[in-house]
Amino acid sequence: MLLRGVRVSGLIELERVWKKFRYGEGHGRLRDAIPALVRRALRRPDPDAGLHRGEFWALQDLSFTVRPGQALGLIGPNGAGKSTALKLLCGIMRPTAGRCTVRGRVGALIEVAAGFHPDLTGRENIYLQGTIMGMPRREITGKFDEIVDFSGLAPFLETPVKRYSSGMHARLGFAIAAHLEPEVLLIDEVLAVGDAAFQEKAFGRITELVQQDIPVVVVSHQLDAITTLCTRALLLDQGQVALAGTPQECITAYLHGVTAAHGPGSGDSPVRILGIHLGRAAVESGQRLGVELTGVTDGGPAADRLSVRVRVRLAQTGETVFETGTTQLGLALPGAGEFALQLELQMNVARGIYLVESAVWDRLHGRQLLRGPSSYVEVRGGPPFEGLVQMHPRARLLSGSSTAGHVP
């Protein structure tokens, strides 16, 4: 039992945790659903850790411990299991097998607007969240002004949060989680929706909490944030630990990692992409990035209708920022045998992690035939701007009415 007013030494621990999901929603058969409900009610792990039809592993034998004064960063591609691990620690889910231990009052920010009542005002939601965290009203009141000041949302306190933007949700959610005396802090990717100034302030607050011996787990595609905030890191891939080490060690492995090709009937495609190589693991915004795809074609008539494509996505959201291919570039694939497609991309984009994908495209039917291998690149620095694409503006500020209407 936790005593009010007494700070508990926080601890975060996963011990050989497995978590499986079923493709689609719900349980497909009653004979599966009833045992699952009984296990959940009794809080027992599934005695049979094997997979049944339509199921997949989101986490496989995952273990880690975060002690007071430590900050663990979880990185990896989308679908690696990072957010699933945090939801287990928050108690939103229970593991299929293994044990999750979280000791202390939890401050969590795992989804934009998670835990907020949309019809309540910002003020009311501060008290609601504090109550959920187990704090008496007088303690919440004692922290109220600090929360509001940190969030910068004083003018909007009496506005229902359903009218808040995603950035405002993130501001309020983080301010609550980080100031209501958490003994454990869990942060997912949601801070990425805030502006740069608030992110910097939030990172400073997380550092303060670590220095106050609060164990912290951070999930982020912002690798510079992982380097700044975390004392160690885990690189996850397909629900498993690919590497445990320092943030820089895991980031280097992540950026140099290459995902495998896959797709329906990929082994039978007339054109296959065998490999992808990026000239650098990291570039400055505006620099050129060399990309080389290697592949093989059977030279048959079916290959004539196929093209090889390169797509660049923002890893955090999956949003496509650029795509081109042999057809758009006016290039024809050679006859039977191996080939290499070399191109340079000028990375006039915002800083962040980008996924460079390859694919074989069927021009006749207007669809992707198979997805080839892909790799990651980090874009750093560059002049500050909002949005994804750097347009290199040239600007001047004129005074006087005589200048109006004259566009250079």
Q: What's the pLDDT at 31? A: 47
Got the DSSP string for 137-151? HHHHHHHHHHHHHHH
Task: Identify residue 392 by its one-letter amino acid code.
Answer: H
Q: What is the CATH number of domain 11-255?
A: 3.40.50.300
Q: Which ranges of 180-315 would DSSP assign to H, the alpha helix?
A: 196-211, 223-229, 247-256
Retrieve residue 80's tokens: 């690696």
Confidence of residue 337 (pLDDT cuts 50, 70, 90): very high
Q: What is the pLDDT of residue 28?
A: 38
- Per residue in 175-199, pLDDT (tens digit) is 998 888 889 999 987 666 567 778 8
Query: DSSP 3-state assignment of 186?
Result: strand
pLDDT > 50? residue 264: no
Q: Which CATH number fits domain 257-380: 2.70.50.60, 2.60.40.10, 2.40.128.20, 1.10.760.10?
A: 2.70.50.60
In 3-state terms, what secondary structure has residue 362? strand
Residue 9 DSSP class: -
Q: Where are the alpha helices (DSSP H) in 43-165?
A: 82-90, 122-132, 137-151
- Which residue, among 262, 233, 257, 236, has the nearest Cα to 60 in the 3D structure? 236
Q: Do the strands 352-362 and 306-314 form a parallel or antiparallel pair, or are they unpaired?
A: antiparallel
Beta 71-75 vs 216-219: how paired, if at all?
A: parallel
Distance from C-alpha of 3 to C-alpha of 178, rounded to nearest angstrom: 20
| CB neighbours of residue 383 within 10 Å | 9
Q: Provide the sign of the torsion angle of the four alpha carbons 140, 142, 143, 144, taken in this order.
A: positive
CATH 2.70.50.60, the chain: domain bounds? 257-380
- pLDDT per position as a tens digit, 377-396: 989 887 777 788 888 888 88
Distance CA 17, CA 64 (A): 10
Could you read off the pLDDT of 193-235 as tens digits, one per residue?
A: 567 778 888 889 999 999 999 999 999 877 878 888 999 999 9
Residue 147 scores a pLDDT above 90: yes
**Which part of the chain has CATH 3.40.50.300?**
11-255
What are 361's two structure tokens? 């495209």
74-113 confidence digits (pLDDT tens): 998 878 899 999 999 988 889 999 999 999 988 888 765 5
Q: Is the dihedral of CA 40, 104, 213, 194 positive or negative?
A: positive
Taking residues 32-50, report their average pLDDT. Answer: 50
Q: Distances from the Cα of 69 to the Cαs of 155, 203, 205, 318, in angstroms?
A: 35, 15, 14, 33
